[in-house]
Amino acid sequence: MSLLQVRDLKKSYKRDLFARKNDVLKGVSFSVPAGSITGFLGGNGAGKTTTMRCMLGLDYPDSGTAEFFGAPLSSDSKRRLGFLPERPYFYEHLSGVEFLKFYAHLTSSWKAPVLNDRIAQLLKRVDLTHAKDRPLRSYSKGMLQKIGVAQALIHDPELIILDEPMSGLDPDGRLALSEIILETAKKGTAIFFSSHLLHDMERLCQRLVVLKDGICIYEGETDALLDKSGVELEIYYFEQNERRSLRAQNQEDLQVQLKQLLGRGAAIIEIRRARATLEEIFVKMALRGRNP
Amino acid sequence: MRPVWVLAINTYREVIRDRILYALVLFAFLLIGLSLALGQLSFAEQARISANFGMSAIHLCAVALAVFVGSNLVYKEIEKKTIMTILVRPISRLQFVFGKALGLTMVIITMIFGLACILGLVFYGLGQEVGARFAVVLLGLLGEALVLLGVTILFSMITKPLLVVCFSIGVFLIGHWQGSLEYFAAKDQGGTLKAVSWLVSHLLPNLERLNWKDLVLYADQPLDFASKAAALGNAAAWFAICIWISTLLFMRKDVG
């Protein structure tokens, strides 16, 4: 079942009254199934943020539709989704706890003890218990990102949409956020997020949606995309007191290469599947416009 | 209604914790203090001078709060993108605008009430009566602040804060000078000034209708509750219409 179904979304902007319209989205369609982590990939200006804004009713699309949980966006569906925008700014006058209470009360009514427990639990999960009473203006960028994720999770949504959640974070912050994403997905929440960090995408996402110039050029399993570029087998061996490696194109080639090596008296150390990284494929697909 | 209230409380907290409010309150304290000092200079009119200065201080602060904070009320949310995390919650754009306006209204009421308590003490010290007349004048000030807040929010939907402040101050000045304009228009031989006066009186609020300071300055002024209630109703209508048009404009806006 698809939690989010985007169909033929088109959006153009005019910089000023006399400027020509700039078509940002030229018919974007994709879906996000339940219980998956779906990555939204695309170069700068591909239209990822615009797609998210149009989906969520923040910007009005020229045409096309976005359905959440099988129906157009409504108060009910808004209660079932969480969102963290790119480079979020929050109310700096609020403390961490006040901030989470504000978003919780905006979404639904809570009994005080239940909400307090939920906030304590979330602050622990994003490792911000120590800063819960500090105003947000004193938070670092990483802390703001974490509290932003916490506000998206406060009402325990079924689908979370994150726009560039890793941007600007140091490796520690990225790792912490990755863990939060994986942990959340384990509990059955579907996650749809955009990022420029392809290594994280490859590691976290089961599915990918790739956007180029306002058009969706790939939608499907991450593994299928990686396999599309062809899988090679890498043989590591020891010969003449030296560690060496060579690549086999397929199983038959592997058998031939192994026979030759063993015949020469080489010691086989390891055989690994080697395939192109997402980064290599993305560069081909999105930036150069070639199929993998 | 709950999201409106949650937003209003948040806006109230935000403004209360902002430095601009304390600057305004300090300014009001200084004016009330000055009113006492100036009152000393007059032999017979000390209470009247103090009352005039004190009420003017509250008046200016309420108007400044409505215009300066109101001009940024929605604009800042869009500019800082805080609005993006709010509008994806189950809250409509009408509820958003109304919640923000309600929050700032609560701040204005708190400020008027706080300053009125200080002024009430001054009145008490000078032997002036603090009763229904005093309260009615304050209601007039609140009505004017609400009209200006509505107008300011409306302008903020179509332009940037600096221009919004200029336009709103323009409405404030014209709103208080409509009587003078009508006076000169009546003496105008040509039709231009008459036409301008007619347009202004039909398109902009007459804020002098809410200026009831004379009630505390002159004891012989009649306290006509019916006309005061009508003027307050008119102010509430101006506020409601401005918020409604603001929401219509806001509903067409891309906020991402």
Report pLDDT for B138: 94
Report pLDDT for B220: 78
In a domain, B204, yes or no: yes
In a domain, B203, yes or no: yes
Measured between alpha carbons, how far is B153 from B151 in angstroms, rounded to an integer? 6
Percent of chain B, pLDDT > 70?
99
Task: Calculate the CA A66 to chain-centre distance.
Answer: 19
Long-range contacts of A240-249 (CB under 8 A, 24+ apart): A243/A269, A247/A274
Question: Under an 8 A CB cutoff, do B18 and A102 touch?
Answer: no
pLDDT per position as a tens digit, B151-183: 999 999 999 999 999 999 999 999 999 888 888
Mean pLDDT (chain A) is 88
Report pLDDT for A129: 92
Q: Which of A56, A79, A91, A137 should one mutate to test binding to chain B, selecting the residue with the greatest count of B CBs within 10 A?
A: A91
Q: Which residue has better confidence, B188 or A291?
A: B188
Amino acid at A226: L
Number of H-type helices and E-type strands within chain A:
10, 13
Report pLDDT for B256: 72
Structural domain boundaries, residue B244:
2-251
The number of distinct structural domains making up chain B is 1
Looking at residues A104-113, what average pLDDT do you find? 90
Q: Which of B4, B69, B84 should one mutate to test binding to chain A, selecting the residue with the greatest count of A CBs within 10 A?
A: B84
How near does any CA of chain A get to the CA of B88, in Å?
Answer: 6
Measured between alpha carbons, how far is B98 from B246 in angstroms, rounded to an integer? 10
Question: Under an 8 A CB cutoff, do B18 and A103 touch?
Answer: no
Confidence of residue A291 (pLDDT cuts 50, 70, 90): low
* pLDDT at position B30 over 90: no
Report pLDDT for B44: 66
In a domain, B256, yes or no: no
* pLDDT at position B42 over 80: no
Question: Under an 8 A CB cutoff, do A106 and B91 touch?
Answer: yes
The answer to whether the CB of A211 falls within 8 A of the CB of A253 is no
Q: Sheet harboring A215-221: ordered strands across?
A: A81-84, A159-163, A190-194, A37-42, A207-212, A215-221
Residue-wise DSSP of B10-36: HHHHHHHTSHHHHHHHHHHHHHHHHHH
Looking at residues B69-88, what average pLDDT do you find? 91
What is the token pair recorded at A9?
């979304």
Indicate the burial class of A73 (C-beta count within 10 angstroms; 0-12, 13-18, 19 or more): middle
A134 part of contact set with chain B, CB < 8 Å: no
Domain ranges of chain A: 2-80+157-221, 231-275
Confidence of residue B81 (pLDDT cuts 50, 70, 90): confident
Taking contacts as CB-CB distances below 8 angstroms, the residues of chain B near A93 are: 13-14, 17-18
Question: Under an 8 A CB cutoff, do A83 and B87 touch?
Answer: no
Report pLDDT for A230: 67
pLDDT per position as a tens digit, B58-69: 999 999 999 999
Question: Under an 8 A CB cutoff, do B88 and A49 touch?
Answer: no
Report pLDDT for B36: 76
Percent of chain A, pLDDT > 70?
97
Amino acid at A86: E
Percent of chain B, pLDDT > 90?
50
Long-range contacts of A20-26 (CB under 8 A, 24+ apart): A23/A214, A24/A50, A24/A214, A25/A50, A25/A51, A25/A54, A25/A61, A25/A64, A25/A214, A26/A213, A26/A214, A26/A215
How far CA B226 is from CA of B139, B144, B237, in Å, comes to 14, 18, 16
Nearest Cα residue to A100 out of A132, A75, A127: A132
Measured between alpha carbons, how far is A260 from B153 in angstroms, rounded to an integer? 81
Confidence of residue A99 (pLDDT cuts 50, 70, 90): very high
Confidence of residue B255 (pLDDT cuts 50, 70, 90): confident
In a domain, B94, yes or no: yes
Measured between alpha carbons, how far is A17 from A20 in angstroms, rounded to an integer? 9
Measured between alpha carbons, how far is A144 from B14 in angstroms, rounded to an integer? 18
Question: Under an 8 A CB cutoff, do B255 and A49 touch?
Answer: no
Assigned CATH class of A2-80+157-221: alpha beta
